[in-house]
C-alpha cells in the first residue's frame, strides 16, 4: 500500500503522526505528488504546524502521498502512488489527502495532517472511514504549506478517534481550549440531495445524539459550491499553472489546470459576491442552530475502476466545498454502514467555534459507539 512518499523518524516518543506532502518538513523536499516537482530542493524549514508537533513530542512517521498538487477528489496518483483504501478497498481513498486518511485508517498512525481547500480532508476521511476536521479558516497556521497563498485552504487533522483529533488540535491551533458543555445545543439538519441510505444514516445519527434538531434550508448552497470552484480554479492556476508547460503534470490534473486558466476576473468577482452572501446565510443559520448537520458525501465513493478521470468526479465535493468558501469549521464523522460503502456525517459550526464543533462530534461518536 503506497502511503508514505518519504519515511521519517523525527521527534519524540509521543503520538505517531503523518504529514501530507504539501506541508514542509525541514531537510526533505515537498513534491505535492507531482513529477514536475521531483527535483525540488529540500525545505529549509519546517512548516509551523510541524514545528508545533515536534515541540509537543509527536513522532513524525512520514510524508504521505496525495492527489497531485492537491487538486483532485479521488486520491488516485499514478506517479506518486495511490494508497489502498484500507477499510473499503474497492473504493477510491478520496482526495486530495489520500495518504493521510489511509495511514490513519490502516493503523500506521493514530493521527495525520492534511489540507482542505475544497474538501480535501473531509472527503478522504469519509472515503476511508475516519474522522477529519477542516478548522475555521485562519485558525491553524499555513506558514510552510503549499500553496503559499489561498483564501480557502486549511490545515487540519485526520484521526482514528475524536480524542486523538482533539489532542492534535490543541497542539497545532494556538488557543484551542477546553471543550464547552453541549447541553442545550440544537442541530440544524441541512436539506440536501443525497441517496437514501446516506440520508437515513445521517438522520439516525442525529436522532441518536439526543440533541434537539430541526430541518434547515440554505438557499445559496449550490451557488456556493459553484463559486468555490471558481475561486479554487483561480488560486490553483496562479500557484501551479506554470507547471503545466513542463509536460510532467498528470493528465487529469493538467486538464483541470488548463480549464482553470480560463477563469476571468468577472468570474472571480461574481464568486466573491456569492461568498459574502452565502457566508451571511450560514452565519444566520448558526444563530438559530449552533451546529449544522448534513452528509459529507451525497453518494458512495467511486469504485477505483471507474475513477480514472478525476476531472469528471469533482462533484464528490458537492456537500463540503461550500464551507471552504464561507470559512466555517466542518468535521467528518464516520457512521456505521451495512451498505458495503462508507457513510459519513458532516457537522458545521460558527467561525472559531471549533471547540464546540469537536464537543458535539465527540458526543455523537460516543453515542454511535454505544449501539
Predicted local confidence at residue 314, as pLDDT: 82
Question: Per the structure, how many domains does the chain have?
Answer: 1
Digitized pLDDT (tens) for each residue of the chain, 371 residues in all? 679 999 999 999 999 999 999 999 999 999 999 999 999 999 999 999 999 999 999 999 999 999 999 999 999 999 999 999 999 999 999 999 999 999 999 999 999 999 999 999 999 999 999 999 999 999 999 999 999 999 999 999 999 999 999 999 999 999 999 999 999 999 999 999 999 999 999 999 999 999 999 999 999 999 999 999 999 999 999 999 999 999 999 999 999 999 999 999 999 999 999 999 999 999 999 999 999 999 999 999 999 988 877 777 888 999 999 999 999 999 999 999 888 999 999 999 999 999 999 999 999 999 998 75
Q: Which residue range forms the structural domain that includes residue 92? A: 4-369
Burial environment of residue 219 by CB neighbours within 10 A (0 to 12, 13 to 18, 19 or more): exposed
List Cα–Cα distances, 190 to 169, 219, 290, in angstroms: 26, 10, 13
List the catalytic residues: 20, 96, 120
Pairing of strands 187-190, 111-116: unpaired
Report d(CA 331, CA 89) in Å as an integer.
23
**CATH number, position 41:** 3.90.1300.10
Note the pTM of the prediction, 2 decimals.
Answer: 0.97
Cβ atoms of residues 310 and 123 within 8 Å: no
Predicted local confidence at residue 338, as pLDDT: 86
Amino acid at each position: 500500500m503506497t502511503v508514505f512518499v518519504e519515511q521519517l523518524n523525527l521527534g519524540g516518543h509521543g503520538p505517531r503522526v503523518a504529514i501530507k506532502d504539501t506541508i514542509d518538513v525541514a531537510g526533505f523536499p515537498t513534491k505535492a505528488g507531482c513529477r514536475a516537482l521531483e527535483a525540488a530542493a529540500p525545505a529549509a524549514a519546517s512548516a509551523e504546524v510541524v514545528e508545533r508537533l515536534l515541540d509537543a513530542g509527536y513522532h513524525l512517521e512520514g510524508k504521505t502521498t496525495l492527489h497531485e498538487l492537491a487538486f483532485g477528489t479521488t486520491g488516485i496518483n499514478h506517479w506518486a502512488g495511490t494508497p489502498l483504501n484500507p477499510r473499503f478497498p474497492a473504493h477510491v481513498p478520496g482526495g486530495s489527502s489520500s495518504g493521510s486518511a489511509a495511514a490513519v485508517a490502516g493503523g500506521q498512525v493514530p493521527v495525520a495532517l492534511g489540507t482542505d481547500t475544497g474538501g480535501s480532508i473531509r472527503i478522504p476521511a469519509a472515503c476511508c472511514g475516519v474522522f477529519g476536521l477542516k478548522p475555521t479558516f485562519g485558525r491553524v497556521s499555513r506558514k510552510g504549506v503549499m500553496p503559499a497563498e489561498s483564501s480557502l485552504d486549511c490545515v487540519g487533522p485526520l484521526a482514528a478517534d475524536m480524542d486523538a483529533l482533539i489532542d492534535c488540535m490543541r497542539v497545532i491551533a494556538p488557543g484551542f481550549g477546553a471543550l464547552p458543555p453541549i447541553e442545550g445545543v440544537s442541530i440544524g439538519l441541512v436539506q440536501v440531495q443525497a441517496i437514501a441510505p446516506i440520508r437515513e444514516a445521517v438522520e439516525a445519527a442525529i436522532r441518536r445524539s439526543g440533541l434537539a434538531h430541526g430541518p434547515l434550508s440554505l438557499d445559496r448552497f449550490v451557488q456556493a459550491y459553484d463559486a468555490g470552484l471558481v475561486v479554487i480554479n483561480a488560486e490553483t492556476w496562479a500557484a501551479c499553472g506554470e507547471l503545466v508547460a513542463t509536460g510532467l503534470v498528470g493528465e487529469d490534473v493538467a486538464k483541470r489546470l488548463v480549464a482553470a486558466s480560463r477563469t476571468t476576473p468577472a468570474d472571480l468577482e461574481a464568486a466573491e459576491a456569492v461568498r459574502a452572501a452565502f457566508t451571511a446565510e450560514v452565519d444566520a443559520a448558526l444563530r438559530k442552530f449552533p451546529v449544522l448537520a448534513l452528509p459529507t458525501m451525497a453518494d458512495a465513493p467511486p469504485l477505483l475502476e471507474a475513477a480514472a478521470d478525476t476531472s469528471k468526479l469533482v462533484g464528490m465535493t458537492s456537500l463540503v466545498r461550500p464551507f471552504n468558501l464561507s470559512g466555517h469549521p466542518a468535521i467528518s464523522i464516520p457512521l456505521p454502514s451495512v451498505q458495503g460503502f462508507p457513510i459519513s456525517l458532516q457537522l458545521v459550526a460558527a467561525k472559531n467555534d471549533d471547540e464546540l464543533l469537536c464537543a458535539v462530534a465527540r458526543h455523537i461518536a460516543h453515542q454511535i459507539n454505544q449501539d
